[in-house]
Amino acid sequence: MAATKKRIQSGSKIVKQGARFSLVGLSNAIIDFGLYTGLTIIFKVPLSKVFLVKYFSGSVAMINSFYWNRKWTFKSKVGIGKSGIRFLVATLISVWGIQPGVVWLFTATQLKAFGMFWFNFGQTIGIVGLLPHFITTALVIKTVAFGMGVLTIFVWDFSLYRLWAFKED
């Protein structure tokens, strides 16, 4: 009976952490996507090079992520230096390795067709026509690529933060 109760409490804790992690992730995505999209538009970055902007936008979001995940999501009491280094290792792999790689795959290779599919779908249902000078092929491709990158690193980050970066030894 006690073991079952402990498993339920543990499961409840994971669900709460997952919900908080999702909210922090949403704020990270807003920061990251806003910078990523804004900078690629302002500086007219070609699709084949937009993945480079992810290094900067992802780094800014990373700072936000560390603060809120450490303080609120996982309520870590691990020293800031130790948790910071672990967080940095886990996050640099995802933000500077995995995510830009996924963005590159969906903007600079044949997988760009996936973004084109969504642009064409938007045209078919009339969304593109609402803001034709804003909802461009490039914007949709960049947005789809960004979303695929976020989905890819979600499980990676949560697992490593929970089991390593913010875990008390």
- Whole-model pTM? 0.74
Local structure of residue 47 (DSSP, 8 states): G
The pLDDT value given to residue 118: 96
What residue spans define the domains of the chain?
Answer: 2-165
**Are the C-beta atoms of 64 and 27 separated by less than 8 Å?**
yes
**Are the C-beta atoms of 106 and 148 separated by less than 8 Å?**
yes
Per residue of the chain (169 residues), what is the pLDDT tens digit?
A: 666 666 666 678 899 999 999 999 999 989 999 999 999 999 999 998 998 998 899 899 999 999 999 999 999 999 999 999 999 999 999 988 999 999 999 999 999 999 999 999 999 999 999 999 999 999 999 999 999 998 999 989 999 999 999 998 7
C-beta pairs of 42-51 under 8 Å, 24+ apart in sequence: 47/107, 47/108, 47/112, 47/138, 47/141, 47/142, 48/107, 48/108, 50/103, 50/107, 50/142, 50/145, 51/100, 51/101, 51/103, 51/104, 51/107, 51/108
